[in-house]
Amino acid sequence: MKKWIVTCALLTMGSMAFAQQNTLTQKEKKDGFQLLFDGKSLDGWHTYNKPGFTGNCWSVVDGVISFDVTKKERGDLITNEAFENYDFSIEWRISPNGNSGIIFNVTEDPKYHSTYNTGPEMQVLDNEGHPDGKIFNHRSGDLYDLIKSSSEPVKPVGEWNTARIVCNRGLLQQYLNGVKVVETRYDNENWKKMIAGSKFKDMPGFGVDMKGRIALQDHGNPVWFRNVKIKKL
């Protein structure tokens, strides 16, 4: 009897935990947050430069946006809506030796073949297993190839991490698991100087627009996302 009660309790707790994913708390609703992922479909998203199309590499599995590298219809997954001043958060989980990223302020235009031609990236990485983990400013939480994180509160590979990106009238802040790891401005000469010293120096559209879409990167490795939320500022 006791075993049956414990089993039922665990099942109930598991169901409650699942139900709490991809939802807004009453406080978040009051504060003006909105969900960008409903936990059931990819409504509100499409493959970069392919409006109305999501391909088969991205799908929803058990309430999670999942990337399947074995599928042929590849590409970054991008929001239908563009955002300017916002507080964005998302949970991510990377595969062993995996690499991905959250790319923001993306300009969607056929003249740019990739999201990273225009949008800065908050890195998603298995720091210990992927070669990029050995590169300065290429580790999880970094503003990729521009600014190294001030600390590394990333969780072990396979566990869920929470990323937060705040873009507010030229001020950029990145948080990883509740810790602010990057702060800079993206509207001044120092920003231009950083870009000029990076791998993006020959991409004239990079880091220019202060309004754009948000992308989840197809970097060829399994990756998972959930609890995608945004508040317009």
Tokens 């401005």 sit on residue: 185
For residue 26, pLDDT over 60 is answered with: yes
Is 103 inside any structural domain? Answer: yes
CA dist., res. 50 & res. 145, Å (int) = 27
Q: What is the pLDDT of residues 47-105, one digit of tens each?
A: 999 999 998 999 999 999 999 999 989 999 999 999 999 999 999 999 999 999 999 99
Is 58 inside any structural domain? Answer: yes
Give me the number of domains the chain comprises: 1
Is 20 inside any structural domain? Answer: no
Is 98 inside any structural domain? Answer: yes
Is 9 inside any structural domain? Answer: no
Is 77 inside any structural domain? Answer: yes
- What is the pLDDT at residue 199? 97
Mean pLDDT within 15-25: 73
For residue 15, pLDDT over 60 is answered with: no
Quickly list DSSP for 103-153: EEEE---TTSSSGGGT--EEEEE-TTTSGGGGSTT-STTSBTTTB--SS--
Find residue 89's DSSP bridge partners: 164, 229
Q: What is the pLDDT of residues 98-132, one digit of tens each?
A: 999 999 999 999 999 999 999 999 999 999 999 99
- What is the pLDDT at residue 19? 53
195: domain range?
25-232
3-state secondary structure of 15: helix
> Is-above-0.75 flag for pTM?
yes
Helices of type H across the chain: 2-19, 26-31, 189-196
Higher pLDDT, 73 or 12: 73
- What is the pLDDT at residue 9? 43
3-state secondary structure of 5: helix
Percent of all residues in the chain with a pLDDT value above 70, rounded to a whole number: 92
CATH of the domain at 44: 2.60.120.560
Q: Are 94 and 124 in contact (CB under 8 A)?
A: yes
- What is the pLDDT at residue 7? 40
Tokens 């990739």 sit on residue: 114
Mean pLDDT within 5-11: 41
Is 182 inside any structural domain? Answer: yes
Is 116 inside any structural domain? Answer: yes
| Arithmetic mean of pLDDT over the chain | 93
